């Protein structure tokens, strides 16, 4: 079965600083990979997705992520963080072999200091 | 605008009672899902349905039940057999294979009092 690991539970960055959130996955074939963002008490919003082609994908709100097969990673990056980016971020992988179930990491909570 | 509507936003239940959480979508998606979210545990799959009148258990189905009588609707019942039902519940939908990701509702927070 596939799994997703987000090693950082909580990250704090200053506004204007760069950001990288880590995600590692375990999956036999080429996965479909996603990053979602969740504000407190809200649902999840899709930031970006990867399923083939260019390994650097662009998403909404200025986020990007790079798929590295050799490292089984799909890290999320942003060059300059805004205070409104404070939220919880989830990496997820779809099992394309069985029913398209989405498996989530445990999330990384981002705090932005002014 | 197309989307997923979950209701109610907040729900309080007495111990021993069954409660039903509503999930309706107008995205014409075939697949629908229910997740449970607890602090520090991410999202865990309760049930999913890929087509009307068919559904499968997820990783934590015990104490929950679902139905899929209409494409648009996928209600979740939290039964009295669920030992620790206090959580945030999220409904989602997708096209088959989940290639483009899921669309999520805004969630229902269930509290047992």
β-pair type (A73-78, A19-21):
antiparallel
**What residues in chain B have per-residue pLDDT under 70?**
1, 97-99
For the cut 60, the answer to whether the pLDDT of residue A99 exceeds it is no
- Report which listed range, A25-39, A68-82, A96-110, is most confident: A68-82
Rounded to whole angstroms, the maximal C-alpha distance in chain A is 44
Residue B88 and residue B111 in contact, taking contact as beta carbons nearer than 8 Å: no
What is the distance of C-alpha B61 from the center of its chain? 11
3-state secondary structure of A72: coil
Candidate from A78-92, A93-107, B96-110 with smallest mean pLDDT: A93-107
Are residues B101 and A43, on separate chains, in Cβ contact within 8 Å?
no
- Tokens representing residue B16 in the block: 């021993």
For the cut 70, the answer to whether the pLDDT of residue A91 exceeds it is yes
**Cα–Cα distance between A23 and A5 in angstroms, integer?**
6
A→B interface, C-beta within 8 Å? 9, 32, 34, 36, 41-46, 49, 51, 90, 94, 96, 99-107
Smallest Cα–Cα separation from A98: which of A4, A41, A21, A31? A31
């Amino acid at each position: 079965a596939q799994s997703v690991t987000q090693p950082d539970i909580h990250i704090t960055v200053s506004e204007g600083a760069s950001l990288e959130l880590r995600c590692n996955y375990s999956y036999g074939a080429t996965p479909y990979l996603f990053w979602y963002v969740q504000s407190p008490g809200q649902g999840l919003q899709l930031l970006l997705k990867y399923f083939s082609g260019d390994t650097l994908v662009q998403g909404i709100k200025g986020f990007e992520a790079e798929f590295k097969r050799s490292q089984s990673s799909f890290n999320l990056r942003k060059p300059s963080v805004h205070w409104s980016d404070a939220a919880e971020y989830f990496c997820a992988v779809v099992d394309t072999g069985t029913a398209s179930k989405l498996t989530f990491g445990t999330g990384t909570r981002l705090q932005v200091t002014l | 605008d197309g989307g997923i509507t979950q209701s109610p936003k907040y729900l309080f239940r007495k111990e021993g009672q069954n409660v039903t959480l509503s999930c309706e979508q107008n995205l014409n998606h075939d697949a629908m899902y229910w997740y449970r979210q607890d602090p520090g545990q991410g999202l865990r799959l309760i049930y999913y349905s890929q087509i009307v009148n068919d559904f499968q258990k997820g990783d934590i189905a015990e104490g929950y039940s679902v139905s899929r009588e209409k494409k648009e609707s996928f209600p979740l019942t939290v039964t009295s057999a669920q030992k620790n039902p206090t959580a945030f519940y999220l409904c989602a939908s997708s096209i088959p294979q989940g290639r483009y990701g899921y669309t999520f509702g805004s969630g229902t927070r269930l509290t047992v009092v």
